[in-house]
Amino acid sequence: MVPREIEPRFRAALKAFPAVTLTGPRQAGKSTLCRSIEPELPYCNLEALDTRGFAQSDPRGFLAQFPKGAILDEVQRVPELASYLQGIIDADSTPGRWILTGSQNLAVIEEVNQSLAGRTAVLHLLPLSRSEVVGFPSHPTTLNATIFTGGYPRILDRALDPSQWLQSYVATYIERDVRMLSNVGDLVAFQRFVELCASRTGQLLNYSSLASDCSVSQPTAKAWLSLLEASFVTMRVPAFHTNARKRLMKMPKLHFIDTGLACWLLGIRSHEQLQTHPLRGPLFESWVVSEIAKHRLNAGEPIGLHHYREHNGAEADLVIDRGGILTVVEAKSAATATPALLAGAMKAREYLGIEAPVSHTIVVYGGGTSQRRSGLDVVPWCDLHKFAWR
């Protein structure tokens, strides 16, 4: 098993809390991580119908099977278990006895917050970051192959064709998980909605346009987008502004957390297609944003990412706010760091510097050489994971 970046935090949480709750998308490696860290704890997967039926009909009897604790996988299937665990943990608060995993953030966190507040640490595991991907013997070595492959562990561990595996993944997600999260009556329309979201990755999110293109109402589009976020498929990056009111009024940017999944939804079936694809730039931006988000989450930091866009033409793909000190990040998929490629980051730094101090300005590009120009760090895509993005 390739070591996961989150492992030190996971182990520390097990020493401090009687329970640890780990959420993340399906197939991100949650079960593998839990069982490798605590191989002696009994493992119980609540996806199994008979196991789930027992837990639902007799939760006290079900939990009594595990006097020394257990790993309860996919706990969103029986969220009421958290209420019964509260009394068990209060009777014996020995650290590290219980590990709960869930692949639907809202379903798990709501129940955990109500029943296990102060009794469990909550961690989030996203698909593999680049620093984890390179641990596989057959990892992708080019930018296009990296974007196309994405970060789901099974693809890399078994050297699978990403398109074939992701086809099955999408079908399973549409047919099973969405039905459980919400009453989506028209699954065909929802699948079309997901594909339209993929075509908007790395771009400003216009709810009206998205709803119109999918022939649904704006409230429906917003509700469906919340489902994608709850299942760790997409993330919204809000606009940055020192004025909180103006920040809320500006459009967020939409990003797919896994670019391999976005590629499949866009009909991209080989990494060679990416070289001339019109969305290569936005896909690269989403890859950069996702990588930085993964590193921050794995380190225990809030995602804390914003984008910047002003009427004067100044814009930046990412602004990281570290207590009032800003880091400006631009993502450019071109392989050559020309002056024109750096101009946008320099302009954003100039205008942002009026509002708050800018400590670093970084341009992540599709080339392979690190450079320092005009106070900018020019970082090749393959070195992105070597930076401390905390």
Residue 161 identity (one-letter amino acid): D
Residues of the chain with CATH 1.10.10.10: 130-281
Quick one: average pLDDT of 380-384? Answer: 96
Residues of the chain with CATH 3.40.1350: 298-386
Quick one: average pLDDT of 278-294? Answer: 98
Question: Model confidence at 154, in pLDDT bands (50, 70, 90)?
Answer: very high
C-alpha 268/C-alpha 136 separation (Å) is 23
Residues of the chain with CATH 3.40.50.300: 7-124
Q: What angle do CA 159, 164, 168 make, to 5 degrees?
A: 115
Contact (CB, 8 A) for 40 and 46 = no
Say if residue 242's pLDDT is above 80: no
Question: Model confidence at 108, in pLDDT bands (50, 70, 90)?
Answer: confident
Domain 130-281, CATH 1.10.3720.10 — does that match? no
Q: Report the pLDDT value the prediction gives residue 354, as an integer from 0 to 100.
A: 85
Say if residue 308's pLDDT is above 80: yes
Q: Report the pLDDT value the prediction gives residue 332, as an integer from 0 to 100.
A: 97
Rg (CA), the chain: 22
Q: Report the pLDDT value the prediction gives residue 180, as an integer from 0 to 100.
A: 67
Q: Report the pLDDT value the prediction gives residue 243, as an integer from 0 to 100.
A: 67
Contact (CB, 8 A) for 309 and 250 = yes
Percent of the chain clearing pLDDT 90 (strictly above): 78
Q: Report the pLDDT value the prediction gives residue 178, as an integer from 0 to 100.
A: 73
For residue 233, how many other CB atoms are within 10 A of its CB? 22
Q: Report the pLDDT value the prediction gives residue 249, as an integer from 0 to 100.
A: 58
Please, which residues bridge with residue 267 across strands? none
Say if residue 160's pLDDT is above 80: yes
Domain 7-124, CATH 1.10.8.60 — does that match? no
Question: Model confidence at 245, in pLDDT bands (50, 70, 90)?
Answer: low
- Residue among 232, 273, 6, 235 nearest 147 (CA): 273
Q: Report the pLDDT value the prediction gives residue 187, as an integer from 0 to 100.
A: 80
Q: For the segment 161-216, what is each residue's pLDDT rounded down to a tens digit?
A: 999 999 999 988 876 777 666 667 778 888 899 999 999 999 999 999 999 999 99
Q: Report the pLDDT value the prediction gives residue 185, as an integer from 0 to 100.
A: 73
Quick one: average pLDDT of 95-110? Answer: 83
Q: Report the pLDDT value the prediction gives residue 335, as an integer from 0 to 100.
A: 96
Contact (CB, 8 A) for 260 and 266 = no
Three-state SS annotation for the chain: CCCCCCHHHHHHHHHHCCEEEEECCCCCCHHHHHHHHCCCCCEEECCCHHHHHHHHHCHHHHHHCCCCCEEEECHHHCCCHHHHHHHHHHHCCCCCCEEEEECCHHHHHHHHHHHCCCCEEEEECCCCCHHHHCCCCCCCCCHHHHHHHCCCHHHHHCCCCHHHHHHHHHHHHHHHHHHHHCCCCCHHHHHHHHHHHHCCCCEECCHHHHHHHHCCCHHHHHHHHHHHHHCCCEEEECECCCCHHHHHHCCCEEEECCHHHHHHHCCCCCHHHHCCCCCHHHHHHHHHHHHHHHHHHHCCCCCCEEEEECCCCCEEEEEEEECCEEEEEEEECCCCCCHHHHHHHHHHHHHHHHHCCEEEEEEEECCCCCEEECCEEEEEHHHHHHCCCC
C-alpha 80/C-alpha 275 separation (Å) is 48
Structure tokens of 233? 């498929």
> Which of the pair, 103 or 99, is modelled with greater confidence?
99
For residue 92, how many other CB atoms are within 10 A of its CB? 11
Q: Token match 């704890």: residue? A: 41
Domain 298-386 fold: Trna Endonuclease; Chain: A, domain 1 (3.40.1350)
Say if residue 246's pLDDT is above 90: no
Chain mean position to CA 332: 21
Look up the pTM and report it. Answer: 0.94
